[in-house]
Structure 1
Amino acid sequence: MPLVHLIHEAYTGIQGLSNDDLRAKTPELKQLVVDFIAEEKAEIANIKSRIGDDPDMEIEKKENLYQKVDALEKTIEEKTDEILLDILPEAFSVVKETAVRFNGNESIEVTANDFDRDLAASGDRIEIKGDKAIHLSTWMAGGNEVTWDMVHYDVQLIGGIILHQGKIAEMATGEGKTLVATLPIYLNALSGNGVHLVTVNDYLARRDSEWMGPIFEFHGLSVDCIDKHEPNSEERRIAYNADVTYGTNNEFGFDYLRDNMASSTEGLVQRKHNYAIVDEVDSVLIDDARTPLIISGPTPKGDQHEFHELKPRVEKLIQAQRKFVTQAISEAKRLFGEDEKNKDGGLAIYRAFRGLPRNKALIKYLSEEGIKTQMQKTENYYMQDQSKEMHIVDEELFFVIDEKNNSIELTEKGIDLITDSGEDSSFFILPDVGGEIAEIEKSGMSEQEQASKKDQLMRDFSIKGERIHTMNQLLKSYTLFERDVEYVIMDSKIKIVDEQTGRVMEGRRYSDGLHQAIEAKENVKVEAATQTYATVTLQNYFRMYHKLAGMTGTAETEAGELWDIYKLDVVVIPTNRPITRADHEDLIYKTTREKYNAVIEEIVELTSNGRPVLVGTTSVEISELLSRMLKMKNITHNVLNAKQHQREAEIVLNAGKPGAVTIATNMAGRGTDIKLGHGVVDAGGLAIIGTERHESRRVD
């Protein structure tokens, strides 16, 4: 019989229970799990006591016993999975009935236990009256007051089953993924081994732990959120020992790294990785998995650098290159005006692209019909025969940018420009160490003189290597990293903006001197350089879990990758009702100005009909530009970007009210719950205007 039917059967028996009897189901189910694996647990305890009682035991014998313990622990994991599947219908029914009772009543009265009293002492959601505990159905979550109004549909029960099986449930936007997760979380928490719910940002981790937590706490299961506590603290260890632990992917990963660096077992905060549900699983396991998590620390002489000394030279280079690129674009326009297939025009535009690929005038010109095709033809011509002719393109430039490989190289013309008169002509040129050593050895000098010359050569190589590296990082910071796009300045510090979530990544720094280069560019304090202490990729971290599951609205396109790397199946869950969202075709404009004017006109028209509008942008810079345009039209609006993240809960709360206008970066993309105000559905619902496509289709 299908599991959903078994849940319905079990549910009819649960419905008639009193509140106290409903709560008594949890210890009863926990005991079933304990009894099912009691034999193996007793055997492990027996083996460990034998090892402890005999300190002189032979190494080989001890090794064999520990291997036996490992085998028994594997058996326990398998048997736990087996018993959890057996009690699934009853466990899911308990959660559903709890949701029904919170939904239908302002409060639920039960006989108070110690757990209720502890919770009542630390919050105002539970009232203790004599020997009774009153659980209210209204509480604070994510800074806003919420009244419980949700009950699990059948499609959500299916989603819960899929998550329990360690698969990915793809559910459409608004289908209640957060609620679905309560079912497998409760079921797997009964084993006492802990359940981790992983979210993409700290706002969602805090909100979901506060929003869903009372359902678990009603049944005596402890809930905590690691993002509320400081790293390496006793509070964080307690959070990991809770039955249900919410947190962000990065914090789980960083805690694992910190545990690996701990000098004693007392310093550890995590326990064995049992079961994790990853919310927005494609974002975490694919988009974010490209960047490894790194813990770094101070390095000797880390505060010694040449960024400030070399900055004027870099600015001189940038100025000269900018001037040259502007001339090259004008030249290309003139030549293409005479003949649209002009080879010299193609060379000029390709030079401009190799010089400053992110130049706004160049990007605008390349968007004109046929221009990009001409440039690509030129590129193909010069890249043939292993770029044998590329020097013809590059000889006019001061430095060459290879955007694909994220690399920058100074040309001879550039080196001449920044090498001051009277300065060593090889000031920015690395010595040919092999050739120079051969010359020294042939010179007929004494061994002592040779050793001294070689030392001097290696010192020269090291100094120049560092100098050229500093130059390259400064050039990168000026040409490939833009303020309010890749980073923002807050509290006189450079803070990185996550390209996937649009949020500020607190405490993160670019590696290899790039962060210091950006600090020098923006005239803020240049922090000392750091070195890597520990690193792990999210891919490797999440593979450690005994069971891994995920939920998202956009995983089907990545199903192959998720199976290849994580052995995770994707199951598409049908919607509870047919989707009423109307998706329109893209509108393309010739110029940015026309596009933004059209966006403003659309906003005015939609809000006049009483519809709330959410405007999606790709960067902080564009969100602020649109905000200025709306201010000029006297249109009241909110901006949700990396600089405004403290007001996130308040902005999201008001975003669904009639006529509300919210401009947001992709911060509003993942898991943000916009509730529609009174009369909005009749007016046509929430209107979403995307101002441009993101790099990742899934963000859109």
Structure 2
Amino acid sequence: MLGIGTVARKIFGTPNDRKIKATRPLVEQINALEPEFEALSDEGLIEKTQAFKKRLQDGEPLDALLPEAFANCREAAKRALGLRAFDVQLMGGIFLHQGNISEMKTGEGKTLVATFPAYLNALTGGNVHIVTVNDYLARRDADWMSKVYGALGLSTGVVYPQQPEGEKKAAYAADVTYATNNELGFDYLRDNMKSSLEEMNQRGHFFAIVDEVDSILIDEARTPLIISGPAQDRSELYVTIDKLIPELTEEHYTIDEKTRNVTFTDEGNEYLEEVLHAKGLLEEGQSLYDPESTTIVHHVNQGLRAHKLFLKDKDYIVRDGEVMLIDEFTGRMMQGRRLSDGLHQAIEAKEGCNIQPENVTLASVTFQNYFRLYDKLAGMTGTAATEAEEFAEIYGLGVVEVPTNRPIARKDEDDAVYRSAKEKFDAIVETIHEAHGNGQPILVGTTSIEKSEMLSGLLTQAGIKHNVLNARQHEKEAQIVADAGKLGAVTIATNMAGRGTDIKLGGNLDFTIMEALDANPDADPEEIRRRIEAEHSEGEQAVKDAGGLFVLATERHESRRIDNQLRGRSGRQGDPGRSAFFLSLEDDLMRIFGSERLEKVLATLGMKEGEAIIHPWVNKSLERAQAKVEGRNFDIRKQLLKFDDVMNEQRKVIFKQRLDIMRADDLSEIVKDMRNEVIDDLVDTYMPPKTYADQWDTDGLHDAVLEQLNLDQPIAEWAGEEGVDDEDIVERLEKAADEMMAQKAAAFGPENMRSIEKQILLQTIDAKWREHLLTLEHLRSVVGFRGYAQRDPLNEYKNESFQLFETMLDSLRQDVTQKLSQIRPMTEDEQQAMMREISQQRQAMEAAATTQGPDDSSLGAVEGAAVAGFDENDPSTWGNPGRNQLCPCGSGKKFKHCHGRLA
């Protein structure tokens, strides 16, 4: 008997079916407009864009423009790229505009789909960001799709690492900007460390379309983006502790592979104490449990994690003496990415590499909280349905499965499970040999570099020619992927997820033509194109006859999405194809999650060596295991986000304050309010309310006012006067402070004074925020222990971080007030002495330039020399240079263009 849910689905369709059905009238409208837009000239398409913008300004809603805007964009793409969008691509674009995730299979043309909602939303004048997983794709897509936007009268920008500031600003100013998630996040943090509005690059967060959305918003969301600066160098300690770890035996620690955690046992702690005492790293009488031992314990734990949890050629590779992390989802090297909390240094010590100093956090943000800044967010991927709950809960994004343009013809076989890894790999080599003999191209998916190289060795022994694609062959990636669909090609790839490049049957036509043109620059391009197109057509048909691309996976991944992405490489656009997973009971997933039951089943069946169990039940049980892992990973990310949300609220407050300060022309009122609050606090401390005059500490107040406000006032005399209370003292101090600051403003000149106030405020906020981040990091690392006292760590963290934030704001007011109270203009003698010193520096610099030629390092060293006593963070040491005089920092710039710049 059918369940109620099944009956309802048969009558009404699934929720996904209903969403697809709802877009069909819009698609029909767009199609009906096609002849009208085909009749327009190239200038006519641009004129349409201007007309749409005018209609929006006149109050017409954006949704009302959708059919015409999509029709205009489709026509522009047809002319610029020769590509006419299919109906399902228009559907995908509609769902993106509505703020959903469009799940579209590999090869369905997601790059083109993004242009429709990007064009429509760019008409508002808001900035549209299209987010990709790597710089290559950002540049490729921007270059390719800029032809479409250009035909519509819109500008396109691309953001990439180490980009010149002017170029980056122009890229963000464009109507549509392509960038990676990392670069967008880092630019957001950098912008909020700038000291003037003109230096900021991003212009708000209006609409983002995230390509490979599951990879960016889920896989990469476990680690925050951090901008850091160097901390104390502890290289020796890492090396010393690294030598201890190999001496440990299995009884000294326990590994939990499910949670990827390793901890010392009681025996391990006792052994460690003995060894650390012997090495002099722990003082006599001091145990590992003492508060003074925190640093040593932290380093030992990180050393243990580096040795037992992080494997070379799986989690990282060593290249040119540097430890490079490998992205577990894409198999790519993560250039410039480092593990935090000293873990990266522990791995460097383990591998005998040069240990780079630890860093302290200057600014940080998680991808979740960065992408939640956007007014509207959308995404595209081939696999999102398995994580629909997380997308809805964290980002408010719905997932819509868009139908394929042509039915999928790929044959997905049931998993084959072998008893041992050896039996599995023997079967894999035999299967590859058989398919290769038929000329079928094969893509073999592995989970680590080590396994891809081991399989490569087996294929070499079997005499099968093949290519290997992993982090070591990173540079050859485009060539290897372009060749992977050719007749008889065998390609071993470590994690093909998120590579953004289709494997086309018969090979990549455009790539082959480009190669031929490079090899024969004098040949006729049209002739070459015709010849290669004819050859490619034959090759493509031969591959189809051989069964299309065969995707052979050597292991199941923790996430079903990654398996589905690998599978989706085959059978694009209705092509034939085949996929199969070969597993063994020794695989990590099988070993960790319930292989005992399967072992018993295999023993009961009396299976012989080399035989495999193949049954849909096995697939179901594996999917359940994967769903468990995904659920646990979601819980971890959710918990991390709850903690980060606390900091995020504070981050928003601080970043908004910085923006307000940079936008303001005159900060004297803000500075005055801060000063008055400091005076109130001081008087409250030394003259508590509702106390008698003989209980007041007037001497303490006098010293504190002198230190904080640089004011020497007869407070004891005031307090002795008849009828004087604490409020009178406050008023007199405020008046004296105001007069002193007015004199300073007159001496510096109002313009200079405003600039100094702005610089001091920004520098103090930044310094205090950095200290606060460090304090929160330490609080976060110890707050978990509160759980042992039956107290919720998250609530404890919220309460304490709020108190710390309040304390930071009090400290900020005090520091700003103190610095402004102590600055003074330079005397004439000091100015002359400073000018003489600058003049000598310039002469020395010119001499260096004439004797050594334009060597940047020597010039930089001279230019960097500042006037004696100059302190970047203390304007009282800057003196009182004129606006057009050289800056006392020694930069060689005029004061008005350097430290005296009006932000």
**Matched position secondary structure for 2:411:** coil
Residue of structure 2 equivalent to 1:92: 70
Bigger CA radius of gyration: 2
Quick check: 1:640–1:668 contact (8 Å CA) kept in 2?
Answer: no
Quick check: 1:4–1:157 contact (8 Å CA) kept in 2?
Answer: yes
Among 383, 389, 398, the alignment partner of 2:252 is 398
Quick check: 1:400–1:411 contact (8 Å CA) kept in 2?
Answer: no
Quick check: 1:430–1:461 contact (8 Å CA) kept in 2?
Answer: no
Among 292, 313, 316, the alignment partner of 2:244 is 313
Residue-by-residue CA offset, 1:61-120 (whole Å, 9 max, x unaligned): xxxxxxxxxxxxxxxxxxxxx632122111111121223334xxxxxxxxxxxxxxxxxx
- Output the CA distance in 2 between the equivalents of 1:685 and 1:426: 63
Change (3 A) 1:417 1:85: closer
Aligned length: 505
Quick check: 2:137–2:500 contact (8 Å CA) kept in 1?
Answer: yes
- Output the CA distance in 2 between the equivalents of 1:556 and 1:171: 11
Quick check: 2:276–2:282 contact (8 Å CA) kept in 1?
Answer: no
Moved more, 22-31 or 535-544: 22-31
Residue-by-residue CA offset, 1:641-663 (whole Å, 9 max, x unaligned): 11222211111111111111111
Among 389, 394, 399, the alignment partner of 1:570 is 399
Change (3 A) 1:430 1:583: farther
- Output the CA distance in 2 between the equivalents of 1:557 and 1:304: 44
Among 540, 545, 548, the alignment partner of 1:682 is 545
| Counterpart code for 1:168 | I
Among 267, 271, 294, the alignment partner of 1:416 is 271
Among 9, 31, 54, the alignment partner of 1:8 is 31
Residue of structure 2 equivalent to 1:515: 344
- Output the CA distance in 2 between the equivalents of 1:512 and 1:430: 28
Kindly state the Cα deviation for residue 565 of structure 1 after the two structures are TM-superposed: 1.4
Kindly state the Cα deviation for residue 492 of structure 1 after the two structures are TM-superposed: 1.1
Q: How does 1:43-442 map to 2 (within 5 A)?
A: 83-102=61-80, 148-227=81-160, 229-230=161-162, 233-299=165-231, 301-317=232-248, 321=249, 355=250, 397-403=251-257, 404=259, 406-409=261-264, 411-412=266-267, 415-416=270-271, 419=274, 423=278, 427=282, 431=286
Q: Does 1:629 align with 2:652?
A: no
Quick check: 2:260–2:309 contact (8 Å CA) kept in 1?
Answer: no
Change (3 A) 1:629 1:432: closer
Change (3 A) 1:92 1:410: same
Kindly state the Cα deviation for residue 637 of structure 1 after the two structures are TM-superposed: 1.7
Residue of structure 2 equivalent to 1:496: 325
Q: How does 1:630-649 map to 2 (within 5 A)?
A: 630-649=459-478
**Matched position secondary structure for 2:56:** helix
Answer 1 or 2: which has greater helix percent.
Answer: 2
Residue of structure 1 equivalent to 2:56: 33
Quick check: 1:230–1:236 contact (8 Å CA) kept in 2?
Answer: no
Kindly state the Cα deviation for residue 461 of structure 1 after the two structures are TM-superposed: 5.1
Quick check: 1:185–1:244 contact (8 Å CA) kept in 2?
Answer: yes
Q: Does 1:697 align with 2:560?
A: yes
User: What stretches of structure 1 move > 6 A for 4+ residues in a row?
Assistant: none
Quick check: 1:431–1:461 contact (8 Å CA) kept in 2?
Answer: no
Q: How does 1:461-540 map to 2 (within 5 A)?
A: 462=292, 464-540=293-369
Change (3 A) 1:472 1:562: same
Kindly state the Cα deviation for residue 433 of structure 1 after the two structures are TM-superposed: 11
Kindly state the Cα deviation for residue 509 of structure 1 after the two structures are TM-superposed: 0.8
- Output the CA distance in 2 between the equivalents of 1:223 and 1:430: 66
Change (3 A) 1:211 1:433: closer
Moved more, 7-16 or 18-27: 18-27
- Output the CA distance in 2 between the equivalents of 1:556 and 1:230: 36
Residue-by-residue CA offset, 1:166-202 (whole Å, 9 max, x unaligned): 1111122222211211111121122222211112222
| Counterpart code for 2:551 | I
Kindly state the Cα deviation for residue 523 of structure 1 after the two structures are TM-superposed: 0.6
Change (3 A) 1:562 1:181: same
Kindly state the Cα deviation for residue 27 of structure 1 after the two structures are TM-superposed: 2.5
- Output the CA distance in 1 between the equivalents of 2:288 and 2:388: 50
Gapped regions of structure 1 (runs ≥ 5): 37-81, 103-147, 322-354, 356-396, 435-459
Quick check: 2:104–2:401 contact (8 Å CA) kept in 1?
Answer: yes
Residue-by-residue CA offset, 1:612-657 (whole Å, 9 max, x unaligned): 1111111111112112222223322221111222211111111111
- Output the CA distance in 2 between the equivalents of 1:32 and 1:561: 38
Quick check: 1:302–1:530 contact (8 Å CA) kept in 2?
Answer: no
Change (3 A) 1:692 1:280: same
Residue-by-residue CA offset, 1:209-265 (whole Å, 9 max, x unaligned): 2222211122232222212x5257221121111111111112111111111222222
Quick check: 1:642–1:667 contact (8 Å CA) kept in 2?
Answer: no
- Output the CA distance in 2 between the equivalents of 1:495 and 1:315: 22
- Output the CA distance in 1 between the equivalents of 2:392 and 2:191: 29
- Output the CA distance in 1 between the equivalents of 2:117 and 2:392: 21
Gapped regions of structure 2 (runs ≥ 5): 1-23, 507-538, 564-903
Change (3 A) 1:429 1:571: farther
| Counterpart code for 1:260 | N
Kindly state the Cα deviation for residue 405 of structure 1 after the two structures are TM-superposed: 6.5
Kindly state the Cα deviation for residue 283 of structure 1 after the two structures are TM-superposed: 2.1
Residue of structure 2 equivalent to 1:452: none
Residue of structure 1 equivalent to 2:771: none
**Matched position secondary structure for 1:564:** helix
- Give the TM-score taking structure 2 as reference length: 0.53
Residue of structure 2 equivalent to 1:358: none
| Counterpart code for 2:556 | R
Change (3 A) 1:522 1:421: closer
Residue of structure 1 equivalent to 2:41: 18
Kindly state the Cα deviation for residue 305 of structure 1 after the two structures are TM-superposed: 3.9
- Output the CA distance in 1 between the equivalents of 2:558 and 2:150: 41
Kindly state the Cα deviation for residue 421 of structure 1 after the two structures are TM-superposed: 11
Residue of structure 2 equivalent to 1:606: 435
Kindly state the Cα deviation for residue 422 of structure 1 after the two structures are TM-superposed: 8.8
Quick check: 1:276–1:549 contact (8 Å CA) kept in 2?
Answer: yes
- Output the CA distance in 2 between the equivalents of 1:528 and 1:410: 30
| Counterpart code for 1:310 | I
Q: Does 1:619 align with 2:448?
A: yes
Kindly state the Cα deviation for residue 417 of structure 1 after the two structures are TM-superposed: 7.2
Change (3 A) 1:179 1:433: closer
Change (3 A) 1:291 1:525: same
- Output the CA distance in 2 between the equivalents of 1:570 and 1:409: 43
| Counterpart code for 1:273 | H
| Counterpart code for 2:89 | Q
**Matched position secondary structure for 1:306:** helix
Quick check: 2:103–2:384 contact (8 Å CA) kept in 1?
Answer: yes
- Output the CA distance in 1 between the equivalents of 2:28 and 2:240: 73
| Counterpart code for 1:242 | A
- Output the CA distance in 1 between the equivalents of 2:74 and 2:560: 35
Quick check: 1:197–1:277 contact (8 Å CA) kept in 2?
Answer: yes
Quick check: 2:45–2:151 contact (8 Å CA) kept in 1?
Answer: no
Identity of paired residues, percent?
52
